[in-house]
Amino acid sequence: MTYRRQIDRLPIPPADAEVHNVSCHYCIVGCGYKAYTWPRNRQGTLTDNAFGEDLGQQQPPNGTWLAPSMYNMVRQNGQDVHLAVIPDRDCVVNSGLASIRGARMAENRPSRVTGTQQQRLSDPMMWRNGVWQPTSWDDALDLVARVTARIVTEDSEDELVVSMFDHGGSAGGYENTWGTGKLYFDSMKVKNARIHNRPGYNSEVHSSRDMGVDELNYSYSDYEITDTILMVGANSLETQTNLFLNHMVPGLQNGAKFIMVDPRRTVTVNAAEEVAGEENVLHLAINEGTDMALFNAIFTHIVDQGWTDDEFIAASSFQSGEAVGEDSGQPAGLGSLDYAMQTCRTSLEEAAGICGVDAADIRTAAEWIAMPRDDGSRRRCVSAYEKGIIWGNDNYRTIGALVNISLATGNIGREGTGCCRLGGHQEGYYRPSDAHVGRPSTYVDQLLIGGGGKAHHIWACDHYKTTLNAAEFKRVHRRRSDMVKDAMDAAAGGTRDQMVDAIISAVNAGGLFVVDMDIIHSQIGQNAHVILPACESNEMNLTSMNGERRLRLSERYMDPFGNSRPDCLIAAGIAQHMEAVLREMGQDDYADQFRGYDWETEEDAFMDGYNQGNPEVTYARLRAMGNNGVQEPVQGFENDQLIGTERLYADGVFTRHGREDGKALFCAAGWRGWQAAGKAQEQANHEFWINNVRANIFWQNQFLDQDNDFIQDRFPFPFVEMNEGDMERLGIGAGDLIEIANENGATQGMAYPTDTARPGQVAMVFGSPAGSQGNVVNPGVNELILPDYKHTWGNIRKLADAPPSARTISFKSKEYSGF
């Protein structure tokens, strides 16, 4: 049965409702919303309300509407209040558009009144007597500090392994990355760290940065005035929804051409065709993992045709051959255009053979990107990329090859241009130097699998759902953490010292002491010995920047759930307890390193961190800048306004690599087939390419959506888009549960017949709690520990007929059918 809300009336926000600025905490676009809160016993009327509209009238298209998902009743300053979170039409990011994610922010708030999100953690918990028992913050932090202090003093800080988010939005942001960063990179020098979605502590776009190009260099408005949008390995209508609808669509309506590089046809391609006409959309459905060869051919053709921007190249790029040599830790040489071209040179025909697309189409792409108009004027092009190549084959060289095209054509730093990643979460990184981590960073998951590390602090990461080689990781992590659970059970009833001794003995015997900071009890949290409950943005004030570096303060409008706290204050609590324990141990010098955490609020953490590096930026000023905020870097404060930067590199000086000459570097991106170990053999030995993809409807690993009835009703199991001929041949029907297996492990999902799916290729939604695609991804990474999640091959078999929940859902095409 299709999910119905059975709601036919909602409270009306009164005219005097409190209004709070909100940046959507889900994707990187960071749409502006307004949160209205008002007392439980009050309401507005049809004619006198917070929206200033006559709500007795049917609202027109694009009108103001409080959807049921935008409403909830939450706790604010200890009182139950009504909450309405609606899209902000004055925000330049989304202009009043809501996404299927952001428009559910209200109903995805924890509420004891309406019963939503009761999965949220409310109290610290500790493994006691065979289960997790709630306890006080002091008790939980004391155990964390005592065990951690013993390990880092008796062994070294290298035995403390940390998995920690580095993103903005959600529960990330400048406050929380600073809190965690100060603890692990300043008070300590933890080098065995990893980020939420990958097994090392590293950039996802090393090559772009090494070439001098920050990966977020444009304004979203550039899409509206560009001549060509080149999208690679991304599906923006689904994953940066309102960037596509509010900025790319106007660009296409203004005459821009659209090039999509993606082996899979997506709803983004379909929508682009609807807007621009099929004749203005070029979908290069290349063989998986061959992007670099395509880019090199486009680059070569542009150079050979003389379509390069020679003035820009002369003024802004390195001119003297090789600047950085290739070596074991440097996946490609960097230098002048001519230097790079010696390696990159690829003919259209060579690329066509590798990529499996027509040479003529590759030529067309080059023409749309760079062939001057009849009057000799240059075309402008925005290049945008994401996980298809970030988590793809040969990350460093492939991204470098794409940036080469933008540099060669002068398409960075100018209106209507840019070469940017599209992004996942918002950004919000402010931490002390991570130089001690080294490059390449530790391959942390392999370290843990190999028995390394004795304590594992996990901050809002769920390796169970979002790592590669996940099947083996889970087996080992559970076994090692169970050793500690057994030791704790055996020490039950004893003193704290006896408990700590028992844990230390267990970790010295190969066990792992696991502390999990999260907002829900995650899957990896099943292995935790201490669980510390965190809160999210709007339960705290949170600053983040979006994909055009737009910094906003998303304001607190409700209380943290139960006894949960902002991550920055949890980190401060750990630090304070570490200081006390170390002093008790007589380690005063070490204890002194843990001073400086006397923060009472998240704003204190913001002032201690981000504000120190950006003294113009304060909460009060950001609050005044509203949902339009200011684009980083902030240049100053004039006339009561923060002055930002619309676009990076407008002066043609490239700085991201730190070179004093300010010259951009080209990348010698030599094609070498499958870069990561084991990929070629896996491809040869299995029938299906298992593409992993994202979907509009879910956010990432579904951490809140797994408890959202509207969402789970639509896709009760992770969908696997599959060619109908393949399904018929294997005896698989729509909604049947299927297993994907290879030498790395197995996972399961639900077959979704898809008429545009190619034979031998399936697309499985990534990060599902009901089927981890990472189980079947081999451990292959590049030289800098970037995983190649995207390239996995396996065999497929039917496990079971469609369960009842899958029998009643729609299996129709996701593509809009217009006139």
Bridge partners, 39 (sequence order) = 81
Nearer to other proteins, 11 or 652 (CB): 11
Rule CB under 8 A: say whether 374 interacts with other proteins.
no
Nearer to other proteins, 271 or 366 (CB): 271
Least gap, CB of 757 to other proteins (angstroms): 10
Give the dihedral of Cα atoms 650, 653, 655, 661; nearest 10 deg. Answer: -170
Least gap, CB of 731 to other proteins (angstroms): 24
Least gap, CB of 275 to other proteins (angstroms): 10
Give the DSSP H/E element, type plus range, for residue 141: helix 137-154
Q: Which of 35, 55, 403, 786 binds other proteins (CB under 8 A)?
A: 55
Rule CB under 8 A: say whether 714 interacts with other proteins.
yes
Rule CB under 8 A: say whether 279 interacts with other proteins.
no
Contacts (Cβ under 8 Å, ≥6 apart) of 621: 637, 642
Least gap, CB of 218 to other proteins (angstroms): 23
Q: Which of 78, 306, 658, 818 binds other proteins (CB under 8 A)?
A: 818
| Residues 671-710 contacting other proteins, CB under 8 A | 696-697, 710
Dist CA 260 CA 285 (whole Å): 8
Least gap, CB of 2 to other proteins (angstroms): 3
C-alpha distance from residue 124 to each of 133, 144, 517, 533, 563 (Å):
8, 11, 9, 6, 8
- Return the residue matching tokens 């709070």: 20
Q: What six digits make up the tokens of 681? A: 């053999």
Instruction: Centre a 10 Å sphere on the Cβ of residue 809 and count the other Cβ atoms it contains.
Output: 20
Rule CB under 8 A: say whether 5 interacts with other proteins.
yes
Residue 428's identity, in one-letter code, is G
Rule CB under 8 A: say whether 253 interacts with other proteins.
no
Q: Where are the beta strands (DSSP E) in 124-232?
A: 125-128, 131-134, 160-164, 193-194, 228-232
Give the DSSP H/E element, type plus range, for residue 477: helix 470-490
Pick the piece of the chain touching other proteins (CB under 8 A) from 141-149, 272-280, 447-455, 510-518.
272-280
Backbone angles phi, psi at 282, to 5 degrees: -120, 110
Least gap, CB of 63 to other proteins (angstroms): 5
Rule CB under 8 A: say whether 35 interacts with other proteins.
no
Q: Which of 57, 129, 253, 498 binds other proteins (CB under 8 A)?
A: 57
Give the DSSP H/E element, type plus range, for residue 530: strand 530-533
Q: Which of 37, 241, 522, 544 binds other proteins (CB under 8 A)?
A: 241
Q: Which of 98, 582, 734, 786 binds other proteins (CB under 8 A)?
A: 98
Q: Are 690 and 793 a contacting pair, CB within 8 Å?
A: yes
Least gap, CB of 519 to other proteins (angstroms): 21
Rule CB under 8 A: say whether 46 interacts with other proteins.
yes
Q: Are 652 and 384 a contacting pair, CB within 8 Å?
A: no
Least gap, CB of 810 to other proteins (angstroms): 4
Nearer to other proteins, 69 or 316 (CB): 69
Rule CB under 8 A: say whether 373 interacts with other proteins.
no
Spell out a b/e string for 572-602, using b for 16 or more CB atoms within 10 Å of the CB, else e: bbbbbbbbbbbeeeebeebbebbeebebebb
Can you say whether the dihedral through the CA atoms of 568, 193, 195, 719 is positive or negative? Answer: negative
Closest CA to 403 of 425, 431, 381: 381
Nearer to other proteins, 59 or 254 (CB): 59
Can you say whether the dihedral through the CA atoms of 534, 536, 540, 546 is positive or negative? Answer: positive
Instruction: Centre a 10 Å sphere on the Cβ of residue 19 and count the other Cβ atoms it contains.
Output: 15
Q: What six digits make up the tokens of 57? A: 């009238």
Q: Which of 20, 82, 104, 550 binds other proteins (CB under 8 A)?
A: 104
Letters for 739-778 (x = contact with other proteins by CB under 8 A, - = none) are ----------------xx----------------------
Rule CB under 8 A: say whether 66 interacts with other proteins.
yes
Nearer to other proteins, 750 or 784 (CB): 750
Sheet holding 418-421, edge to edge: 281-284, 257-261, 228-232, 381-385, 418-421
Q: Are 534 and 517 a contacting pair, CB within 8 Å?
A: yes
Rule CB under 8 A: say whether 58 interacts with other proteins.
yes
Nearer to other proteins, 713 or 724 (CB): 713
Pick the piece of the chain touching other proteins (CB under 8 A) from 66-74, 164-172, 459-467, 785-793.
66-74
Q: Which of 60, 376, 658, 731 binds other proteins (CB under 8 A)?
A: 60
Least gap, CB of 72 to other proteins (angstroms): 13
Beta-strand pair 71-76/257-261:
unpaired
Q: Where are the beta strands (DSSP E) in 490-612?
A: 513-518, 530-533, 542-545, 550-554
Q: How many residues does the structure list for the chain?
A: 819
Nearer to other proteins, 439 or 714 (CB): 714
Nearer to other proteins, 136 or 808 (CB): 808
Beta-strand pair 281-284/322-324:
unpaired
Instruction: State the number of binding residues for other proteins (CB under 8 A).
Output: 65
Contacting residues toward other proteins, per CB under 8 A: 1-10, 12, 43, 45-46, 54-63, 65-70, 97-100, 103-104, 107, 237, 241, 245, 265, 267, 270-271, 273-274, 278, 696-697, 710, 713-714, 755-756, 808-810, 812-819
